[in-house]
């Protein structure tokens, strides 16, 4: 692994966050410093630090049993871990793509803060429902895929225009399901997360367009590293209103909705 960045810099803060094995540090990292490295060096961390409370498995359980508090806690735990991986991977990208504009990396840093706040919201729900962080196994699926992005355009395609865009769809669907079983409080958490993800997707739209020169469905699809495909980057139904508010063109959304695996191309 590369040498750690200089102490007291944002880059070292990001390094320490990704590699920390403290659950408290993951949930409540210290405020980042104001100092950025004068000559940042591209650094790719191979894997995150994992707190002992988290048991990582190759395949996680399917979400089900929402009528029981334990079933809902399992769902909150899954989304807690999604937010953890997102926070880590924003910090990872800040280090990996050191030659990108400072404004882009500052945006990544802000999103780390958003993701950790979402983690704390989920952790509070898990506690309310009578469970604890670590009561359910987790899968580091994002970490198995995102570090395969060799170019920053691919990273933005996967995170901002892919996984976070899909979360617009998934959060709305989960909020409806939670309300259907009478858990309004958990549903409101999903509402907040879904609303705040709009800004993250908008960030992805802006920077994919800046790095790739345009945003259309084919250029986005080609930027996804194998074996990722549009199939994994959407929920059902698509939350078109939120995607359009985030800046995704209607024709992009139309093609995403129609896409099937048989349409795979080079």
pLDDT digits (tens, 9 = 90+) for 30-72: 999 999 999 999 999 999 999 999 999 987 667 678 899 999 9
* Cα 133 from Cα 123, distance rounded (Å): 7
Q: Residue 138 forms beta bridges with which residues?
A: 56
* Cα 131 from Cα 133, distance rounded (Å): 7
pTM for the model stands at 0.94
* Cα 223 from Cα 154, distance rounded (Å): 5
Q: What is the pLDDT of residue 2?
A: 66
* Cα 221 from Cα 131, distance rounded (Å): 39
Lowest mean pLDDT of 110-119, 122-131, 184-193, 254-263, name the range.
254-263
Helix then strand then coil, in percent of the chain rounded to 5, is 60, 0, 35
pLDDT at 9 over 90: yes
Which helix (H) or strand (E) element contains residue 73? helix 69-96
- 54 in Cβ contact with 25 (< 8 Å): no
Q: What is the pLDDT of residue 211?
A: 98
82 HSE (CA, 13 A, CB side): 19
pLDDT at 1 over 60: no
- What lies within 8 Å, CB to CB, of 262 at 6+ separation is none
pLDDT at 6 over 80: yes
Q: What is the pLDDT of residue 65?
A: 80
Task: Tell me the average pLDDT across 124-136.
Answer: 97
Q: What is the pLDDT of residue 58?
A: 83
| CB burial of residue 220 (10 Å; 0-12, 13-18, 19+) | buried
Q: Residue 56 forms beta bridges with which residues?
A: 138
pLDDT at 154 over 90: yes
For the stretch 168-201, pLDDT in tens is 999 999 999 999 999 999 999 999 999 999 999 9
pLDDT at 265 over 70: no
pLDDT at 207 over 90: yes
For the stretch 211-224, pLDDT in tens is 999 999 999 999 99
Q: Which two tokens stand for residue 103?
A: 């404004």
Q: What is the pLDDT of residue 60?
A: 67
Give the residue from 249, 240, 242 showing the smallest Cα distance to 217: 249
pLDDT at 266 over 50: no
Task: Tell me the average pLDDT across 24-30.
Answer: 98
Q: Which residue's entry shows tokens 């995607």? A: 243
């Amino acid at each position: 692994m590369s040498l750690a960045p200089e102490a007291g810099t944002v880059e070292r803060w990001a390094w320490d966050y990704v590699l920390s094995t403290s659950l408290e540090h993951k949930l409540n990292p210290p405020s980042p410093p104001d100092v950025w490295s004068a000559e940042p060096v591209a650094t790719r961390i191979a894997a995150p630090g994992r707190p002992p409370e988290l048991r990582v498995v190759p395949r996680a359980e399917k979400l089900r049993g929402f009528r029981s508090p334990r079933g809902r806690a399992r769902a909150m735990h899954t989304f807690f871990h999604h937010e953890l991986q997102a926070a880590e991977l924003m910090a990872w990208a800040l280090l990996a793509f050191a030659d990108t504009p400072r404004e882009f990396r500052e945006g990544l840093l802000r999103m780390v803060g958003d993701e950790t706040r979402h983690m704390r919201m989920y952790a509070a729900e898990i506690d309310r429902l009578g469970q604890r962080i670590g009561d359910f196994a987790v899968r580091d699926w994002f970490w198995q895929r995102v570090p395969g992005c060799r170019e920053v355009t691919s990273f933005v395609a996967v995170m901002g225009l892919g996984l976070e865009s899909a979360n617009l769809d998934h959060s709305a669907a989960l909020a409806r399901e939670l309300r259907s079983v009478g858990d309004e409080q958990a549903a409101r958490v999903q509402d907040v997360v879904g609303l705040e993800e709009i800004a993250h997707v908008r960030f992805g739209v802006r920077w994919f367009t800046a790095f790739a020169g345009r945003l259309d469905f084919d250029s986005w699809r080609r930027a996804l590293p194998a074996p990722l495909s549009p199939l994994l980057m959407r929920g059902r139904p698509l939350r078109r209103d939120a995607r359009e508010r985030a800046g995704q063109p209607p024709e992009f959304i139309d093609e995403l909705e129609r896409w099937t695996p048989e349409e795979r191309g080079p």
